Amino acid sequence: MNLPNRLTMFRISLIPLILLVYLFPYAQFGMEPQVFTIGTVRLSIVNLVCLLLYGAAAITDYLDGQIARTRNLQTTFGKFADPIADKMLTSTMFILFTSKGLITPVPVIFMVCRDIIVDGCRMIAAGNGKVVPAGTLGKVKTVSQMITIALILLNNLPFELWGLPVTDVLVWFCAFVSIVSGISYFNEMKEDILESK
């Protein structure tokens, strides 16, 4: 397994660690995570640790692609696993936020369903010997999701200080880009999906 693929697998391995930090029952063990107050916004150390872990995962997403392209290390596994790792990470975070009531579930349902459909389309295309890498719209989706997740972990700072619901807007923007990119992927693979024998 080459370096870009190792970075992809490292990104996946960070997911259970983020889950552990975010969902750990601190109170049951007599622990009270430190909370910082910035203006009127309270920010837990738990969120900051999760942000650091998520940031590390986001950096590997950038690095594995760069290394694969510049060193000519692109592989079929990498083209398949890299977008899967991104979806696992972002979907996990959005589902966590929904479970805590931080965001509405509707856009998250759109994003998760889109990912399932696109992955299904990819599997059909792969059965025909075609590997479909992430396109431009897919990358825009991933970047917008990463920015949104970081802002949610920061409790919408600094925008919350000015009463601007930026994270709420970005969540719906992510859902919109997800749907548009999903349609783009479908159009790219529709010959494989709709073929009749």
> Can you give the pLDDT of all 197 residues of the chain as single tens digits?
888 889 999 999 999 999 999 999 999 999 999 999 999 899 999 999 999 999 999 899 888 878 888 888 888 777 778 878 888 999 999 999 999 999 999 999 999 999 998 888 877 877 777 766 667 888 888 889 999 999 999 999 999 999 999 999 999 999 999 999 999 888 877 777 776 45
pLDDT attached to residue 20: 96
What count of other Cβ atoms lies within 10 Å of the Cβ of residue 81? 19
Domains by residue range for the chain, with CATH: 3-193 (1.20.120.1760)
pTM: 0.89
Cβ neighbour number for residue 46 with a 10 Å cutoff = 17
- Distance of alpha carbon 119 from alpha carbon 138, whole angstroms: 12
Q: Is the separation of the CB atoms in 145 and 90 below 8 Å?
A: yes
Burial 121-152 (b: 16+ CB within 10 A, else e): bbeebbeeeeebebeebbbebbbbbbbbbbbb
Nearest to 139 by CA among 55, 51, 43, 66: 66
Contact status, residue 192 vs residue 125, Cβ threshold 8 Å: yes
**What single-letter amino acid sits at 21?**
V
Identity of residue 43: L
Residues in CB range of 124: below 8 A, 6 or more apart: 189, 192, 193
